[in-house]
Structure formats: C-alpha cells, structure tokens
Structure 1
C-alpha cells in the first residue's frame, strides 16, 4: 500500500490514533490527527509522541469537505456517527480503522479472538501456546499494542494473535483471520451499539470474510455464540465446559480434551490450571481449540496451559493483609465479567463496584452480589444506580464511597480475616480514570500503601 502524499485524517488521539499517525507519517502521508479533547487534556503532550509533520487539530473536529482528505482512519473509541465520519461517507471517502489498515499490510496468518468477556486472558494464553510451540508470535490488538506498530516485522512463517473488540470490528471490510474465536456474547457497549442485534452483528464480522480453509472457534455453551455457526463460511470448532460434544474441545472426566474424528485426546487435568474460576476453564478450552486447529498437540498445549498464571487486572492477586486477600479485577468492566469474578471465590467478599455504566442492567449481577458479597462498596458516576439495584435485590450491607481512595479505605475497614477484597467494578473506568489499567494500578498502589501502613504500625490510609 502506497501512502506517500496521501492526505489522511486520523480521528481520536488515543493509543491507536497515535500509532496510526506515526506509521502513516513514516510512510510519507500527510496526516491530520484530531480529537475533541483540548491539548491540555493530554499527558504527556501529544507533540512529544508524534513526528513534527503530523498536524494536530484539538478541541474540535475539522469539517470534511471534498478534495481535502483521501482517507479517514477512526480510532476504536470514536463512534461512527460523528460528523466527520458521516461527511466522509457521504463524499465517498474511505473510512477505516487501525485493525483493517494493519491487516492489509499483514503477511503472517492471524488468530483473532473476540467476545464480551475473557478476550485478554484467552489472547494471552493463545500467544503462550504458540510461543511455546516454537512459533514466532506477536500478541497485539485491543490487548494494548496496536497491530500497526509491529505488523511489518512478521512474515508468513510467523503468527499474529490479536484481541479484537466490537469497536475495532465495526470498521473492518477485508479482515480475514485464519482462526476466528468468539468466546461469548452478553449485553455490553449498548450505549454505543444501540441494541444487541447491532452488537452481535459487529462481533460476527470477525469471520465474515473467512473461506473454507479457515476456522471459527465458538462457545457451544453460549446460545448467542452457538447460533452463529450456520453463518460461518469456514470450519466450526466448538468448545464446551458443560456439554459432552462428540467433536470439539471439551471437559471429559476432569480433563481438558480434544475430540476429533471419533477419538478423544486428553490434554491435562482441569485442576492443573493456575487461573481460577469456571470462566477461565472456558478460556482455556477456547485457547486449546485455537492451538489444535493450527497443529499444536497435547504435550505442547498442556505445557502452556499449566504454566499460564493469568493477566494483569484480571483476578490478579495483589497482596494478603491480616488474613484478607486483595484481588485486582479492574478489567471487570461489565456486570457479566464481574459475575464471573464473584463465582471464582468461595470466601466472603468485600466488593468494590461502580464507575461509568455502558448501558448495562445490574439486576442479575445484584442477585449474585446478594449471595456472594458480605459488604458492597459503591463508587463513581453510577454509584446511586448500583445502590438502588442492590437494595431492590435485598442487599443490605452497602457502603457509599466518595472517591476511589475512599472506596479502598472503606473496603479495608469492612474486611475480616478470611475475606476477599475484590475490585471488580462492573463498569467502565472513564469517570475517574483514563482506562481500566490505570484504575487497576491505582488499586495496587493503594493496597501496597496499606501494607506499608501496617508495617509501620499505622492502621489505614489517610483520606
């Protein structure tokens, strides 16, 4: 693809937009990077992250008129309904995203993984499987490293393992992974997609361009995901924790196992997994399926699955203080994800929940909170909404926090020896933090401050 002298508007100055701008400028394109946020909202300053030839338009979007731009690249967090995108489409100017742009430059085969929950864990685990099998593997995408920054370094003998979101898939047109995995589909991002039908359609784009020689790995236990099978152009491989499938990757007599052509191939005992919870067992089954269809066999699968200890901000053990375990599950950004976190523990839980609601309903979540949580600490923009849902579900022990630090302090005060203090907010972080990663890092920082307080003889953090 020749970008020299092409005029490109990149919308959204986050990680993806910066990566695209740097890449295109390096190819000789004339790049304008725009964002609704003012210049003083960015730290470090954007200019320090970009080559000097990238023009910045901040605080507003430029108007897209005929003859000004040849291409518009939209960052995943930017809705496709904003004026410059609509104007570009009306003028017939191509609109794409970083994932699609990078795909067109890719020479290595791709394993792409999506789903409402479990994407990061499964993508990381799939990367471990192929690295352990001796294949040079890049793990990138929504997991934190934009594909565009690394794609040209990998060739046909290598592998690209990508976490992809519904936002990224919305702007794909030719994207065709060799293996496409959908882990589950539950309500999320409805504030962006509008309804479940649109959300489901965005997820299904992951396999839309596949052919007969490609694979779709689908969760048989999730009805919305299972029902996509007839739409898949390639070969469907189901994984299931609950059903005794004749073909696919299953739990059989306590073992993760692959069933293929009438034969069962045991991989390893489910108890050998180091990542806790039934949902992580499902993630491991999905990862094993991705490895199996591309030739990784039992011994190599078992080694990777047994070695893998999880990812940062997803049921991440932080510390134990006075017999209380502190767990960082900041990546629990919707009720379904946080329900899976609650189900991973048998001990009494002090739960920190709240943030920005993404259009989700908390009713089912609060029914499980009533069953599993001893104390609920609510915080953030939708604290009142969560508290109302909790009281309607019959949750009685609710503590309202003024800010995030206050939430950690109050959770610490409420905890008893044998409890788990669990940060699994069921909400996005954007009301208080730039990302769930920043929220998780702050939680870990505050927990380590509690440790220092205890070592010095103090009782708790100061407000």
Structure 2
C-alpha cells in the first residue's frame, strides 16, 4: 500500500491535472489512479482521454511532464493560481522506498543507466532502470508497490526533468559529460548546465561523480566539484580486463570509468563489475556495424542526436568516413561542428531540415557533400559512391523529429534500407 506524504494527501482529494499525454504523463496518471485519485490529462494535441484546454480552477495539484518548460503558460497559470506544481519525476520519487542512483549527461547516460542496472542485477541486487530511459519512474512505483528498502532505482535524468525538481533526492548522482545540446529549449550553454547542476543539488548527503568535461564546465560557470568527484574520462589508460568488451574503447570507456567509481564507493566487489562488462551489450542504434556490401561497412548510430555524439562516433574510425547527417536543429554552433568534423569526413550525405545549412558549411570547409531528399536517397547515394574499405556511418548529429517519431524509427529505416541493397550482407 502506497501512502502519500502528509503534504500531498489533501491535494489528491481533488482531480489531479497531468500536463502531457506522453510516456511520463500517462505514467503519472496511472500512479494517481493507483493511489485512489482522479487524473485529468491535458494535452494541446488533443487525443482520446485528454483535454486540450487547461482548466486550473478544478485542481489543487498539477503534475508536469518534462516536455513542458517552466515558462509554459499552463504552468505559469497554475502557479499564479496557487496550485502546487510537481515535476513528474518529483511526484513519483515521493513513493520510492529504495535508494536512487541518478544518471545524467549530454551523451552516454542511457547506456550507463542500462549497464549499472544490468551489473547490479548480475550481482543479485534488485535494481530497476527508470526515468528518461523510457520506463517512467511512476510505472515502477505502481508495479513494485514502491519497491523494497534494499532496491535501487537507477534513474536517467534529462535536463528537461532536472530543471523543475524540488522533492527528488538521490543517494548518488553520476554526470557523464557536458557538451552542446538542447539549446532550442535552454537558450544558452549556461542555462543548460544549470539545469543539470540542479540534479547535483538533489544529492543531499549523497555522492556525486563527474566526467572531465563536466569539471571544465563547472569552472566556467562558477561552480566547484570535490576533487574526489572528478573522474578522468577523456584520456584513460588501457585496461586489459576490458579487452573484447563494449567498453574497450571510447566513448564507452567513459561510461565504465564512471560506473566503476560509483561501484567502488558503494562498497561493491569490482570483479563483479568486470564480469558484467564482459556480457553486457549496448542497446540498438548506438554505433553498431549493421552490414557489409562489396567491402563497404555500414554503421548505425541513429541515437547520435547532438554534435558531441557524432564527434565521438567519428573518433572510432581510423580514417575519413562517408557520413549521413542532418535532421531537426536543437540549436548550437553548426559552423563550429562542421569545422571540427571536416577532417574526419570523406563525403557527407545530408538529410532533414538542416540539410541546406549544413551544405553551406560543408561547402565552405571543402568537404564533398550531397543534399538528399530523404534517408533512402542518402543510403542509395552512399552505396553508389563508397568504395571497398570505406565506412558509411549514419550519425546524424541532430534530432530525428523532423521526419521520424524518434531515433529508433530512423535507425530501423536505415537498417532496412541497407539490408535491401544488392549484394549486402548483414553483420
């Protein structure tokens, strides 16, 4: 039986407003109903079971999905009316009985969340991956009745989720890295940094761990980290125990180093972590070879939705690659991005809303390029120009939401197109 905190119980007596009908909003509504309350889901897109026009006067509590900014007029109206507003992650965390390890970062946070959860379960510790990874915290609360005191929620937290947190508490926070991303929402790198830094402030009495780029950003924006919290993730020494695992090279080595830092601090046996590393496999659409055709290898890195991820992927290859890039802009210095990757690109096939602006900058950098009508056009163009020994890499550097429902759909379509090429063999 889940018992709400004292301050929350009277607020649940009235219908609870849930802003957003996505994964987080639906989970929040299910949790409200599991508690015996009534949930009203508001979403401007409409849809079955939702209300398109927000009516704040009917509610004492509003649960806000991460897709809503703090300045959204519905959130502002609710606060102006004196209504309690809680982020979806805040609301769910109030009912969790176990401990929380929060994971954030521009890149790598999903893989790190998956790996820590996998390693803990392999060590016979009850652990659940929740949050931005696609399994809302609220759903685990309902399924596990708040979890056991010895359970661990490994919670991936995006900057969208972190910026509104008030009640969420973490026993540890791991911040993988910091690079340009989500400027279409946050407006500046400093605001983006501060949204994630807010998560560190939720580690009251807990421990924090940060990669090298996070330390540099903290110094730039007037924050400081304890010396023991900073892990050298950018120039790690070789580790023969990771040979043959997904963590043998960057960028995945970064994830292992941060996982190991927390693992040791938690008093867990390090051989168990290495054993888990030997059997762990990264999720789909993360820099994986998917096929070979006439001596050309094809790689799917559709999850690379920002500049840093694409740059990290290109470091994987010994020479210039044939790159498929483009999509919906998330803000940031596109010209700088192109200049940084130009030496590692043999030719680029450009897709999505940013294809024309990318063509301008790649042209200025002297990189051969082609503007494509869609992903299928790009794949066929790559197949025509790539030669034996070349690598063709889908690592877009931009959001997929201009054409696809998400990076998964983009990656699946890419794999399907590659498999349909004549003489193609899958990896």
User: Could you say what secondary structure the match of 1:325 adopts?
Assistant: strand
Deviations 1:246-296 (A, max 9, x none): xxxxx44x23xxxxxxxxxxxx54534324642221111111112221122
Q: Is the 8 A contact 1:126 1:288 kept in 2?
A: no
Q: CA deviation at 1:308?
A: 2.2
Q: CA deviation at 1:78?
A: 2.2
Going from structure 1 to structure 2, the CA distance change for 1:235 and 1:343 (only over 3 Å counts) comes to: closer
> 2:156 — aligned with what?
163
2:397 is the counterpart of 1:426: yes
> 1:109 — aligned with what?
99
Pick aligned residue for 1:374 from 342, 346, 350: 346
Pick aligned residue for 1:402 from 348, 373, 376: 373
Q: Is the 8 A contact 1:142 1:162 kept in 2?
A: yes
2:184 is the counterpart of 1:191: yes
> 1:336 — aligned with what?
308
Going from structure 1 to structure 2, the CA distance change for 1:221 and 1:27 (only over 3 Å counts) comes to: closer
Going from structure 1 to structure 2, the CA distance change for 1:275 and 1:386 (only over 3 Å counts) comes to: farther
> 2:139 — aligned with what?
149
Pick aligned residue for 1:57 from 51, 62, 66: 51
Q: CA deviation at 1:116?
A: 0.8
> 1:239 — aligned with what?
231
The separation in 1 between residues aligned to 2:241 and 2:273, in whole angstroms, is 12
Deviations 1:336-367 (A, max 9, x none): 11100111111441111111011121233212
Q: Is the 8 A contact 1:351 1:377 kept in 2?
A: yes
User: Could you say what secondary structure the match of 1:96 adopts?
Assistant: strand
> 1:354 — aligned with what?
326
Pick aligned residue for 1:273 from 245, 270, 282: 245
Q: CA deviation at 1:454?
A: 3.3
> 2:216 — aligned with what?
224
User: Could you say what secondary structure the match of 2:116 adopts?
Assistant: helix
Pick aligned residue for 2:168 from 167, 172, 175: 175
Q: CA deviation at 1:148?
A: 0.7
2:117 is the counterpart of 1:130: no
Q: CA deviation at 1:229?
A: 10
Going from structure 1 to structure 2, the CA distance change for 1:162 and 1:434 (only over 3 Å counts) comes to: same
Going from structure 1 to structure 2, the CA distance change for 1:362 and 1:277 (only over 3 Å counts) comes to: farther
Query: Which one has more relative contact order, counting CA pairs under 8 Å at least 6 apart?
Result: 2
Pick aligned residue for 1:324 from 293, 296, 301: 296
2:362 is the counterpart of 1:393: no
The separation in 2 between residues aligned to 1:109 and 1:235, in whole angstroms, is 24
Q: CA deviation at 1:226?
A: 5.4
Going from structure 1 to structure 2, the CA distance change for 1:129 and 1:414 (only over 3 Å counts) comes to: same
2:286 is the counterpart of 1:294: no
User: Could you say what secondary structure the match of 2:333 adopts?
Assistant: coil
The separation in 2 between residues aligned to 1:179 and 1:315, in whole angstroms, is 28
**How many residues in Structure 1 have an aligned counterpart in Structure 2?**
413
Going from structure 1 to structure 2, the CA distance change for 1:80 and 1:221 (only over 3 Å counts) comes to: closer
Q: Give the number of the structure whose residues are more often strand, by fraction.
A: 1
2:74 is the counterpart of 1:80: no
2:25 is the counterpart of 1:17: yes
The separation in 2 between residues aligned to 1:186 and 1:297, in whole angstroms, is 32
Going from structure 1 to structure 2, the CA distance change for 1:444 and 1:174 (only over 3 Å counts) comes to: same
Pick aligned residue for 2:194 from 197, 201, 204: 201
Q: Is the 8 A contact 1:184 1:224 kept in 2?
A: no
Pick aligned residue for 1:446 from 410, 413, 417: 417
Going from structure 1 to structure 2, the CA distance change for 1:126 and 1:172 (only over 3 Å counts) comes to: same
The separation in 2 between residues aligned to 1:170 and 1:384, in whole angstroms, is 33
The separation in 2 between residues aligned to 1:427 and 1:303, in whole angstroms, is 35
Q: CA deviation at 1:111?
A: 0.8
Q: CA deviation at 1:428?
A: 0.6
Q: Is the 8 A contact 1:182 1:219 kept in 2?
A: yes
> 1:42 — aligned with what?
none
Going from structure 1 to structure 2, the CA distance change for 1:13 and 1:187 (only over 3 Å counts) comes to: same
Deviations 1:413-443 (A, max 9, x none): 2222222211111101110012112211221
> 1:35 — aligned with what?
43
Show structure 2 runs of 5+ residues with no match. Answer: none
User: Could you say what secondary structure the match of 2:263 adopts?
Assistant: helix
The separation in 2 between residues aligned to 1:4 and 1:367, in whole angstroms, is 54
The separation in 2 between residues aligned to 1:442 and 1:271, in whole angstroms, is 32
Q: Is the 8 A contact 2:242 2:277 kept in 1?
A: no
User: Could you say what secondary structure the match of 2:230 adopts?
Assistant: strand
Q: Is the 8 A contact 1:121 1:310 kept in 2?
A: yes
The separation in 2 between residues aligned to 1:357 and 1:409, in whole angstroms, is 24
Going from structure 1 to structure 2, the CA distance change for 1:442 and 1:276 (only over 3 Å counts) comes to: farther
Deviations 1:213-240 (A, max 9, x none): x1101113544355489656x9943211
